Structure 1
Amino acid sequence: MTETSSARLSHPADTHRITRLFFAVITAYFLAQLALRLILGGALETDEAEMLLMTPGLQWGYGPQLPLYNWLQTVLFALFGDTLFALSLLKNLLLWATYACLFLGLRAFVPARVAALTTVSLFLIPDIAWEAQRATTHSNMLLATIAASFAAYLWALKTGQLRHWVLFGVALGLGGIAKYNFWAIPVGLLLATLSLAQTRRMLTRRTLIAPLIALVIVAGPYLWMAKNPDLSLSSVGKMDMSGDTKQIIPEGGSLYIQGVLILTLLPALVAGVLWVFSRKAEAVMGSAEGSHIVTTLFLRTFVILGIAGLILVWLADVGHITPRWLLPIVLPLVIGVFLWLTPRLSRRSAIGYSATLAALAVLVIAGLSLDRYKEGARRDLDFAPLATQIEEMNLPQDTLIVADFYVGGNLARIRPTWIIRSDLPASARAETTEHILLISRSSKTDASLQELAARVDWPHAAQANYVSGQQIDLPFHHSERSQPLRVLLGVVDQ
């Protein structure tokens, strides 16, 4: 990059043009994704279906997930009905906010061009480009609150103004009721900040307002969690903390490393190619003003969280890890690497990088379209026959239906007036009806389904008489395959 083009990085006209272009691109992309989801239609994915079962108005808690996503989804359901539009709108608004907040936050220390090119690097993370669109919900809220926290924190460090520390406190509080692994972010940021002389000096007494505000925001949901541990901790088993203690390296340790590699492989490949084409410009380009501090801050945050996370997994003997749980650890790494790299990119390299991301976006859209119609696709399953067959059973109107999120949510979408609860522990505790219909996708025996009635705390589980179960085969719209469901009816003896 020449000295003239380097000077233009902070030119007002260039800054405004890049900012307008950045927001135009992310807005157009997520509008396209919203339209695509509505056009493709089909059944709901598991996390989407969960929202139809886990949004019974505004409550302090809803189960194992923290409530912020449910609150916003409840509001959108009130505005637009329990529709696919309301589900997809929230998902894409949060993803849009993730990119927007990170860009605005990075602008505290780096020029608009660097901020834009670094921010779009998030699209190289598979769980953000693909899974966040295809399946996840609460993880999207996690991404948005992490980005908001980064933005508020960077501006608070830059200006030291009370309003920015207040915004950071609000972001912390919202993140604290978005997803549990969010708390890795403030811990990592604080430790990284304290490890750097430049940023350590930026902390003042005003910083203390942030945790106080966060504490006020999380108080209600966390008190609910303490009073309802059976619901709030019902997903702890996912981590399988009962592994083989005789193993030198716990299974969770290898899965942890694999998860980090899965999330960072594509960003690493792209960064490597860009580095090859930009390494000669390094001596000329140097670092943009302020970028060194923020780059080091993000990279140190990753190192601290990466090591701490591995130690925790090892000590807790965690036996199962899903890569998306590691997003709070991986995000600082990807951001830090591209903060270091993008100021060195020539105009030609920047255009090539942007073209690569555009091609990836096209592939994601094409892949999501194919995923809708592939053999055995979740969205291709037809739930209408299930509703019809249940109606043909002539059950009492107040019959309680218990199913997993995927089946229960899709059934609730077709028959919104039916009483449908999830298979989470204690989900049917308040139901007094004397009829229950248990539905399972797995090949459970009647005895196992009876145990499900007890697990959801149906008050009549022990004294009910269970009619012999039956199998219902649901068809796919574009496949000859079928999805078998096991159904068992329980009735209290009169």
Structure 2
Amino acid sequence: MKYSMKWDEWLAESRIGPFPAAIVMVAAYLALQTVILSILATWAGTGVGVDDAEQLIYLPYLWAGYGGSQPPLYTWINWLAAQLFGTNIFTLKLVKYSVLFLAACSVFAAMRRFGYTKATAAAAMLGLFTIPQIAWESQRALSHSVAVVGFCALLLLAMANLIERRSVIAYALFGLATAAAILAKYNDVFLVLALVAAVLSLRELRGAILDPKFAISVAVAILVLAPTTYWSLMHPADLLARGEKFGIDLQQRRMTAAATGAGKFIMATFNFAVLPVLVSALAFALTGFRFSERHPKAPTREVLLWRTLALGLAMLATLVLATGVTEVKARWLVPVLVILPLAMAAYMERLSPRGRDA
């Protein structure tokens, strides 16, 4: 246990050259995955999965939108990488793990910008890898869902920067991050709405949104989204191509559909959150933490994370019940539940000293 604590302290507090040790460790892991999986896929002749195959089809083209109901940002990034490294499996892996590295760095930087310690920022960043959809599914098969993780984390960093600085550049960057998140996956709009609503609900922070300069964010987001929005309006069949995956049956009774959708939503949330929660509970248990003790009130920065999480889940649940959706997959909740490891790390810091050990 003592050895583990020393390793944890080094990982959280030390630097390797100019970079935090935790960032370097994640970079090394992702670089290793990029190389090893590219070699294995080529050597074993396994090729690529459905999602990566779709990317290979679109790689020669730089369009404002693509078929399959998917937004274009991830394909744009693959197109750019292909200009440098060619159209091959290595390019696909490089993009995927670079976007995951963007997520890790953005989470670390956002937590530091919110005023948390290096240890808490490292715990939040590494906590991303307790999420099955990130630790396994995103590396095994997914494409656009990887972009969700990367650009939702970047959106959170942009908001943290906006709250701290409130400069013209900060507002412009938040607008750009908002557009990037939506162009990564359309359901990222739920994180945008939940994050803005959470900030507005907190007296200490709402001035950042009520500031007239917030119009800059809105204008930048609209400008960046305009080409793809126009393309989508001109190609409605492509935009709605995979609508059947939501399991909406107009012949089904409304109450029956709502009950089915609610059950699937609860199960998807459970499947997403169970591992991060169990890992955190184990960490608390190993440090001998007692929840019965009196603890400090949550600071605004922590409330923001929990409130964003709660509002986002409430919006998604309302949509499921209102539209008759009967199929909900855990990965569709990534834009909101990606906040969970960050909120739990913030909670741990507040419950020092045992919480910090956890």
Structure 1 length-normalised TM: 0.64
Name the aligned partner's letter for residue 266 of structure 2: I
The answer to whether the 8 A contact 1:274-1:345 is kept is no
- Matched to 2:333, the amino acid is L
Q: In 2 relative to 1, CA 46–345 (structure 1 residues): closer, same or farther, beyond 3 Å?
A: farther
Residue 45 of structure 1 is aligned with which of 49, 66, 73? 49
Shift, 1:343, TM fit: 5.0
1:52-101 deviation per Cα after TM superposition (whole angstroms, max 9, x unaligned): 11233111111121111111111112222211110100000000000101
Cα offset, 1:278, TM superposition = 5.5
Could you tell me whether the CA contact under 8 Å between 2:59 and 2:87 is conserved in 1?
A: no
Matched, 1:240 2:247: yes
The structure 2 residue matched to 1:295, chosen from 299, 302, 307, is 302
Point out the structure with the larger strand share. Answer: 1
Larger relative contact order (CA 8 Å, sep ≥ 6): 2
The structure-2 alpha-carbon separation of the partners of 1:348 and 1:101, relative to structure 1 and needing over 3 Å to count, comes to: closer
**Structure 2 residue 99 is matched with structure 1 residue 94:** yes
After superposition, give the CA deviation of every residue in 1:356-403 in whole Å (9 maximum; x if it has no partner): xxxxxxxxxxxxxxxxxxxxxxxxxxxxxxxxxxxxxxxxxxxxxxxx
- The residue type equivalent to 1:327 in the other structure is V
Distance in 2, matches of 1:85 and 1:214, equals: 32
Q: What are structure 2's unaligned runs of at least 5 residues?
A: 1-8
Residue of structure 1 in register with 2:162 after alignment: 156
Report the secondary structure of 1:250's partner residue: helix
Distance 1:283 1:250, change over 3 A: closer
Q: Distance in 2 between matches of 1:334 and 1:226?
A: 37
C-alpha spacing 1:128/1:248, structure 2 compared with 1 (3 Å) = closer
Partner of 1:478: none
Task: Note if contact 2:208-2:214 (Cα within 8 Å) is conserved in structure 1.
Answer: no
Instruction: Determine the structure 2 residue equivalent to 1:195.
Output: 201
Secondary structure at the residue paired with 2:204?
helix
Instruction: Identify the match of residue 321 of structure 2 among 314, 318, 331.
Output: 314
Q: Which residue identity lines up with residue 122 of structure 2 in the other structure?
A: A
Cα offset for 1:15? 7.2
Alignment partner of 1:107: what SS? helix
Q: Closer, same or farther in 2 for the Cα pair 1:121/1:282, shift >3 Å?
A: farther
The aligned residue for residue 436 of structure 1 is none
8 Å CA contact retained: 1:278, 1:349: no
Aligned to 1:197, the other structure's residue is in SS state coil
CA contact (8 A) 2:179 2:221 kept: yes
Distance in 2, matches of 1:105 and 1:348, equals 20
Question: Aligned residues, how many?
Answer: 337
Contact between 2:102 and 2:150, CA under 8 Å: does it hold in 1? yes
- Structure 1: give runs of 5+ residues left out of the alignment: 1-8, 354-494
Report the structure number with the largest CA radius of gyration: 1
Query: As a proportion of its length, which structure holds more helix?
Result: 2
Per the alignment, residue 267 of structure 1 pairs with 276
Report the TM-score, using the length of structure 2 for normalisation: 0.87
Counterpart of 2:21 in structure 1 is 21
Report the 3-state secondary structure (helix = DSSP H, G, I; strand = E; otherwise coil) of the residue aligned with 2:56: helix
Q: Select the residue among 50, 56, 63 that pairs with 1:59.
A: 63
Q: RMSD between aligned alpha carbons?
A: 2.5
Shift of 1:273: 2.3
CA contact (8 A) 1:160 1:202 kept: yes
Instruction: Give, in whole Å, the separation in 1 of the partners of 2:70 and 2:63.
Output: 12
**1: CA distance between counterparts of 2:165 and 2:314?**
31
CA distance in 2, matches of 1:115, 1:33: 23
More displaced 10-residue stretch of structure 1: 317-326 or 90-99: 317-326
Deviation at 1:119, TM superposition (A): 1.8
Matched residues in 2 for 1:347 and 1:336: separation?
Answer: 17
Deviation, structure 1 residue 349: 7.3
Distance 1:284 1:253 in 2: 35
Indicate the SS of the match to 1:198: coil
Q: Give the aligned partner of residue 251 of structure 1.
A: 260
Once residues 118 and 52 of structure 1 are traced to their aligned partners in structure 2, the CA distance between those partners, rounded to angstroms, is 33
Secondary structure of the equivalent of 2:256? coil
Stretch deviating more after TM superposition (330-339 or 225-234): 330-339
Aligned partners of 2:305 and 2:339 also within 8 Å: yes
